[in-house]
Amino acid sequence: MAFSEAMSVFSSAAYEVVSLVWMELAMFGVAALVYLAFMGIPFMGPKKKTISGSEQKPQKSAAQEIYRQWQQAKKGNGELPGGLYAVVTCMRELGKPSSQIELELRTALGGEASEKILPGIEQLPAAMIRDDAIDVLPMVLRLLEDFGRPADVATYASLMAAQLRRRDYTGVAATASKLPSASLTPKMLAILATAAASRKELDEVLRHLSHLPIAEEGSRCALSSAGAGQILMLATKEQRTDEVKAELQRIGAQIKETKGMEGGQNMDVQRSLSSIKAFARNKDLPSAAAVFDRLKLSGVSMRPQVYNCYLDACVQCGSTSACLKLFEEMKQLGYIDVVSYNTMLKAYLASNRMEEARALVKEMSARGFPANKVTYNELLNAKVASRDRQGMWAIVDEMLGAGLKVNLITCSILLKSLSERSGESDVARVMALVDDLEESIDEVLFSSTVEACIRIKQLGMLSQFIDAQKSKGIFRKISAPVFGVMIKAFGDAGNVHQVRDLWAQMQENQVKPTAITIGCVVEALVINRRGEEAWQLVQEQLRCEDRKSMINTVVYSTVLKGFAVSKRIDKVLSVYKEMRANSIACNTITYNTMLDACAKCNAMEKAAQLLEDMKELNVEPDIITYSTIIKGYCMSGEIDLAFSVLKEMKSDGHFEPDEIMYNSILDGCARQRQVTESLKILDEMQASGIRPSNYTLSILVKLLGNARRLGQALQIVEDLSKQHGLRPNIQVYTCMIHACFQNKRFERALSVYESMIQEGCRADEKFYSVLARGCLQLHHPSQAIEVMRAAYKLPSSMSSGPGVVGVEGFDELCSKLKASGE
């Protein structure tokens, strides 16, 4: 049978070759001679090397640039244009192991930019599952768990499904073990049963099946027919067919039983195709090739589907030479179809061989396979990746000209092309194509549109898009993480109305929120000074049994931050009391937030109890804890206690004082006018290797100016600037001018002003206000007028910087000038 099928395939292939030879032979001969003369023999080793090198260089360079931006973002400097998923992807491309990626993320979460980075990590699971990049997903889930924002059950279910596809049967069980057994859904139990069958553990299979619900009429069984067939095969081998069949019938599983040689061959082919796909996902081309070759030798019918599967594996593994070789073999066998051409096109585009890609599209049409939507989307994706705007729109025009309409994938690709630098016409055209889609928008395209609008900072456009989709029932399809992204974006932009509306849409469409989504809503309200509203929302969730567990440390800490900012120390302590009563863990960040509230509210007497609680609960203080306590004591005038905390911290040996801490103590001493102590602190600061900042200079100038030691104040600015390479900013110059007037040194104030202009320091409205008021105080109204003229870039006896600045309190100053008779 296999022999006769092979002969049939050979005959059909031969017939096609003969039918085409009369029109192609002459052209082929000439083309072959020209090709050999200019290109050499194809498929030689050196050529392969050149191609692979050119493929990898731009990718590696782009990855290195993203990694450089990440190093800056970790310190709180700059943004991540591609988001955190791009960072994780670039680290994987640079060959960093999962453990190192985890260390990078943990370090960032413990640093200055943690509040910015944590929401990005919360969005990683959905993106990884979408792109089947699950090798580092368990690590990300572990991180979220450690930082009090565990992923929802749906994320774990998607991970288990992906692990099953990759034949990671042990991984499926390990993922499920992280969840309470009561939270395992029927789909998850079905995945566990299928994985157990693959591990030949029939007892475990039956245990998982026993937890699946009894089949109801009209309902669909969670266990696939393929999974049921696999379980039944295992049961047959172990002679337990009746027992297993009864269980499968109980849950309503559909069992496909194959008979005879043909059924067995089909099953072998399907298993082989699954293996090839799994090896391709793991970039293991040798293993995929071994399966393919073994299948060829087995005598089964090698259909085009098998060749296309292996061709796609060659593309995924980045072996252009293997693709070309297989593609030629498929041509000879007559196995080429539109899928083959589109797969080969993907290979050319991945290696940036645009001319060959274009030639392949022409060849497609010549062989009777006109380009379809998949073809154009592949070409379009390549143009977007290379940032070829004109080429991108040329592909779209060509696609529309061929009578093909854009689809969901086309629009998703075009949305990726949009950035802050995109022109208005490009943005408008992309959004128009999205609006004109005949297909219903799915969650993927909706999410892509949301991300694009946020990326290009067009939240008004996003609001219009959301309003347009409301009537189409889209919100019933949108998951909680997508709502979380939108809520966060509108919260950051100060659009509280849209935040409330999105939260209401979630309730109306019965979208169950996750702990992350609730955290996003609470944070959006808090950063917009709606702390009381955020607290009420938390109370509402606590009254819902299925949401109570989502109110975690992070949510409570956000509420605490809101009340701390509004200086509601009573509310801060009330929330803290409720946390303790509900056994919600308080971490270092929680206590730092409350200590900061004590400092801002001048209530440091309440800080002592918080510190005692920290010791009792074994919550370790960090450098921010000590810095906050010292700042609080300094602000309340208790300098001795601040020094005591500093001494305790230094003797403990875990932390060294930093610039912020020294500046807090300096500021405290300045408030108490303790000049000698301040200068000792300055000496200690420099001896410790801590570089003073402009803020340090401002404090010292205020202190020495108040002490009537103007000369020393100006000299210390000059000395420290030279020693540490500082350039005094406008705040320092404003303090210097004020000190001059405070010490009744009018001429010296004007001299400082001229020096500032020569140094190129740009003045602001407050500076000119201080300078003009000082002139009036020392009875120089005419000079005050000259100052105001200089501020507005009008003709004046005084120098002025570039551009009009203006004067703070202009009308009040004019009134004083009139009163003085000027």
Mean pLDDT for 646-667 is 86
* CB of 166 closer than 8 Å to CB of 198: no
Is residue 461 very low, low, confident or very high in pLDDT (cuts 50, 70, 90)? very high
Q: What percent of the chain has pLDDT over 70?
A: 89
Could you tell me the CA-to-CA distances from 783 to 748, 763, 774, 787, 822 in Å, in that order? 14, 17, 10, 6, 11
Could you tell me the CA-to-CA distances from 542 to 251, 530, 563 in Å, in that order? 36, 19, 19
Letter string b/e over residues 756-795, b meaning 16 or more CB atoms within 10 A of that residue's CB? bbeeebebbeebbbbbbbbbbebebbebbbbbbebbeeee
Length in residues, the chain: 822
Residue with tokens 């070829």: 388
Closest CA to 701 of 686, 690, 717: 717
Spatial distance between the Cα atoms of 392 and 417, rounded to a whole number of angstroms: 9
Mean pLDDT for 299-303 is 76
Spatial distance between the Cα atoms of 44 and 48, rounded to a whole number of angstroms: 7
At residue 57, the pLDDT reads 46
At residue 695, the pLDDT reads 93
Q: What is the pLDDT of residues 200-241, one digit of tens each?
A: 888 888 888 888 888 766 677 888 887 888 888 888 888 888
* Segment 597-601 long-range contacts (CB within 8 Å, at least 24 positions apart): 597/560, 597/563, 597/564, 597/567, 597/568, 597/569, 597/572, 598/569, 598/632, 599/628, 599/629, 599/631, 599/632, 599/635, 599/636, 600/564, 600/567, 600/635, 601/567, 601/569
Phi-psi group of 744: left, alpha or beta (phi > 0 → left; psi -120 to 50 → alpha; rest → beta): left
Q: What is the pLDDT of residues 15-65, one digit of tens each?
A: 333 333 333 433 334 333 333 333 343 433 333 333 344 444 445 567 787
At residue 536, the pLDDT reads 94
Is residue 562 very low, low, confident or very high in pLDDT (cuts 50, 70, 90)? very high
Q: How far is CA 670 from the centre of its chain?
A: 43
Spatial distance between the Cα atoms of 364 and 411, rounded to a whole number of angstroms: 24
- HSE (side-chain half, CA atoms, 13 Å) at 200: 2
Spatial distance between the Cα atoms of 78 and 73, rounded to a whole number of angstroms: 5
Look at 112-126, 453-467, 647-661 and tell me which has the smallest mean pLDDT.
Answer: 112-126
Is residue 821 very low, low, confident or very high in pLDDT (cuts 50, 70, 90)? low
At residue 177, the pLDDT reads 86
At residue 308, the pLDDT reads 92
At residue 822, the pLDDT reads 61
Residue with tokens 């290797």: 689
Quickly list H helices, 528-674.
531-542, 553-565, 569-581, 588-600, 607-616, 623-635, 639-652, 659-671
At residue 297, the pLDDT reads 83
Spatial distance between the Cα atoms of 489 and 452, rounded to a whole number of angstroms: 12
Spatial distance between the Cα atoms of 658 and 721, rounded to a whole number of angstroms: 19
At residue 114, the pLDDT reads 73
Look at 33-37, 436-440, 516-520 and tell me which has the smallest mean pLDDT.
Answer: 33-37
Is residue 7 very low, low, confident or very high in pLDDT (cuts 50, 70, 90)? very low
Tokens of 225: 């027919």
Closest CA to 207 of 227, 170, 174, 181: 181
Letter string b/e over residues 603-631, b meaning 16 or more CB atoms within 10 A of that residue's CB? bbeebeebbeebeeeebebbebbbbbbbb
At residue 351, the pLDDT reads 86
Is residue 81 very low, low, confident or very high in pLDDT (cuts 50, 70, 90)? low
Q: What is the pLDDT of residues 344-354, one digit of tens each?
A: 999 999 888 88
N- to C-terminal Cα distance for the chain? 113
Closest CA to 249 of 270, 223, 226: 223
* CB of 370 closer than 8 Å to CB of 402: yes
Residue type, 47: K
Closest CA to 56 of 319, 427, 244, 298: 319
Highest averaged pLDDT of the listed ranges 161-165, 181-185, 267-271, 358-362: 358-362
Is residue 535 very low, low, confident or very high in pLDDT (cuts 50, 70, 90)? very high
- HSE (side-chain half, CA atoms, 13 Å) at 387: 4
Quickly list H helices, 179-303.
186-198, 202-210, 225-237, 241-250, 260-281, 285-297
Spatial distance between the Cα atoms of 642 and 634, rounded to a whole number of angstroms: 6
| 150: phi then psi, degrees, rounded to nearest 5 | -65, 150
Look at 121-135, 521-535, 734-748 and tell me which has the smallest mean pLDDT.
Answer: 121-135
330 CB-near residues (< 8 Å, 6+ apart): 304, 307, 311, 336, 340
* CB of 620 closer than 8 Å to CB of 654: no
At residue 650, the pLDDT reads 84
Is residue 740 very low, low, confident or very high in pLDDT (cuts 50, 70, 90)? very high
Spatial distance between the Cα atoms of 797 and 806, rounded to a whole number of angstroms: 17
Spatial distance between the Cα atoms of 84 and 472, rounded to a whole number of angstroms: 31
Closest CA to 356 of 385, 400, 317, 323: 323
Mean pLDDT score of the chain, rounded to an integer?
Answer: 83
- Widest CA span of the chain, in angstroms? 115
At residue 217, the pLDDT reads 63
At residue 469, the pLDDT reads 85
Q: What is the pLDDT of residues 470-486, one digit of tens each?
A: 878 788 888 888 899 99
Residue 503: pLDDT over 90: yes
3-class DSSP state of 802: coil
* CB of 725 closer than 8 Å to CB of 693: no
At residue 256, the pLDDT reads 55
Closest CA to 101 of 120, 114, 110, 88: 88
At residue 60, the pLDDT reads 57
Query: What's the Rg (C-alpha) of the chain?
Result: 35
Tokens of 301: 């019918």
